[in-house]
Chains A and B, each alone.
Chain A
Amino acid sequence: MTMTAEPTTETDSRVAAVRPSIARLTSIELRKLTDTRAGRWLLATIGLIAVAIAVVQLFVLDDAEQTFTGFLAPSLLPVGLLLPVVGILSITSEWTQRTALTTYALVPHRERVVLAKLAAVVLAALASVLVSLAVAAAGTLAAKATGGAGSWDGEWALVLNAAVIQLVNVLMGAAFGLLLLNTPLAIVGYLLLPTVWSILAAMISALQGPANWLDTSITMEPLYGNEMTAGQWGRLAVSVLAWVAVPLVAGLLRTLRREVS
């Protein structure tokens, strides 16, 4: 053993014994959404589809229907469908690409990483609403210039609703990712399970009662309109509890316990 091998004290001042803050971890997770080709393309595709839909609307809609609301609602669709995939990938790619080995070695408190990932996809969802608003605004201006109605008939409630729609969607994706920890399984599960539930509920009359409370396609429907009643919010909350909160908690427990290899 060399002379320099004198054991250093356990709390050496050289070591920055400060754990990374949730804010820093969130900024890292946001960066991870865009620093791969797949992530960049997925986000770019969402934006392009939203723009494409608005352009098509300019050509096919009656002039009277070319309003701000008329542009906003459809622009929410591609985001609502694809952004959750971003949320799923953010969580499952750690396991399929096996980066969990590095991520959780650097941050052994896995719940902090999961929290940061959820924060990152929530921020992404809110940002997507801004993009949708911008696309709708651009569409409205273009409509006005080309002889459409181009009226700014939107209500603020609609912006709030848009945010709720995207948040529920992206968190549901993340929850499925967290629960299944496998990209294809989570994507298929996220896209298919609610649909299967809708189909079953439509066929089996006994399920129709519960479906009004548990089928997200039914409970989220009023969000695309203008006003939500308290009862509608209640139903939405129950369905979110079942499809988002439950898999989120179960998935968190699974992630905390799972062996990383």
Chain B
Amino acid sequence: MIMVEHLIKRYGPHTVVDNVSFHCEPGTVTGFLGPNGAGKSTTMRMICGLTPPTDGSATVAGRLYRQLPNPGREIGVLLDASAQHSGRTGRETLALAATTMGVDRSRVAEVLDLVGLNAVAARRRVGAYSLGMRQRLGLALALLGDPRVLILDEPANGLDPEGIYWMRGLLRDFADRGGTVLLSSHLLREVEAVADRLLVIGGGRIVAQGGRDELLADTGTLVRARDSHALWLTLQRAALDATADTNGGFVVHAEPGVVGQAAADAGLVLTELRPAAGGGLEQLFLTLTAGATTKEAVK
């Protein structure tokens, strides 16, 4: 359970996080979306007590992070996979954290196995790891204390497609067992595939939040016909609200059934007819964060 209330972070005249509030419930995966510099990482660091907020508060399991006696057992954190001592081996990195948290040393081997780092990789120094391996190590570190909450900043970064698929399953499973997950990403597809709830941030402000299905519900239907112009006229005639996409198709604000019927009535040959959800979030994301994308956080 993560509760964020009116978090504000200012660096001089720049407001990097502007009155951000949201809740993450147990059993859900919340996708934290936003372009670079939108304030995702800063918000996450404030939740973890690493960055002092200018105003507002964040609690995990009902307490301020600093008040958690042994936070690693309550909340698993992966904020930056590259932030590990390059001279330490993967196993040693985990062993140090295990000792700090007071978890059994056998747990180290368990999580290494869980994230798919074999004995050879575990004995290597982190400096020799690829970004994907570092992400796996970071995830192992987050899972080490068997926490009920996970906060992951861009965990899919550097993972190969198979790794992304694997992580998706891992997080889904974690949430289905009653865990709370907050993960940030700019990989829209990744978040769309795993998150129940979406949180979109742009320019430091939450610009949209809600259930994934609810947010994507009105993204409509993608339709493409052999005769693009005829399809356009047909949609106009049927009074369906449509916008042309870049490759001759249309995104229509209606059910696929309705659009298909209109096309059939006009005797058109369709080459594609499907819910636009695949690209829907992308559209949502781009619209919602338009104008905020170029504002990099300035410290």
| A residues lining the B interface (CB < 8 Å) | 1-2, 4-8, 10, 12, 14-20, 24-25, 27-28, 31-32, 35-39, 93, 97-102, 104-109, 257, 259-261
Residues from 61 to 101 in B contacting A, C-beta threshold 8 Å: 61-63, 65-66, 68-74, 77, 79-80, 82-88, 92-93, 96-97, 99-101
B52 touches A8 (CB 8 A): no
Kindly report which residue of chain B lies nearest to residue A25, judged by CB atoms. Answer: B100
A105 touches B77 (CB 8 A): yes
Residues from 158 to 185 in B contacting A, C-beta threshold 8 Å: 176-178
Q: What are 13 of the A-B contact pairs (CB < 8 Å)?
A: A1-B25, A1-B27, A4-B177, A7-B1, A18-B102, A19-B69, A25-B100, A27-B99, A93-B85, A99-B84, A102-B84, A105-B50, A106-B100
Q: Which residues of A contact B93 (CB under 8 A)?
A: 102
Give Cα distance in the complex from A36 to B92, angstroms: 9
Given contacts A7-B26, A28-B99, A259-B51, contact A37 B70 (CB under 8 A): no
A98 touches B80 (CB 8 A): yes
Chain B proximity of A104: nearest CB distance (Å): 6
Give Cα distance in the complex from A260 to B42, angstroms: 10
Give Cα distance in the complex from A84 to B40, angstroms: 39
Is there a chain A Cβ closer than 8 Å to B259's Cβ?
no
Given contacts A4-B177, A5-B26, contact A35 B88 (CB under 8 A): yes
Residue of A10, A28, A100, A106 near B62 (CB, 8 A) is A10
Q: Which residues of A contact B101 (CB under 8 A)?
A: 16, 20, 106
Chain A proximity of B23: nearest CB distance (Å): 11
B63 touches A6 (CB 8 A): no
Chain B proximity of A247: nearest CB distance (Å): 23
| B residues lining the A interface (CB < 8 Å) | 1, 25-28, 41, 45, 48-52, 61-63, 65-66, 68-74, 77, 79-80, 82-88, 92-93, 96-97, 99-103, 125, 141, 146, 148, 176-178, 196
Give Cα distance in the complex from A4 to B80, angstroms: 30
Q: Which residues of A contact B65 (CB under 8 A)?
A: 108
Beyond A19-B70, A257-B52, 6 additional pairs, beta carbon < 8 A? A10-B63, A27-B99, A97-B86, A99-B85, A260-B50, A261-B51
Give Cα distance in the complex from A31 to B80, angstroms: 23
Give Cα distance in the complex from A101 to B51, angstroms: 10
Residue of B27, B62, B88, B196 near A4 (CB, 8 A) is B27
The 7 closest A-B CB pairs, nearest first, are A5-B27, A36-B87, A98-B83, A260-B50, A19-B69, A101-B83, A10-B62
B88 touches A36 (CB 8 A): yes
Q: Which residues of A contact B69 (CB under 8 A)?
A: 17-19
B45 touches A261 (CB 8 A): yes
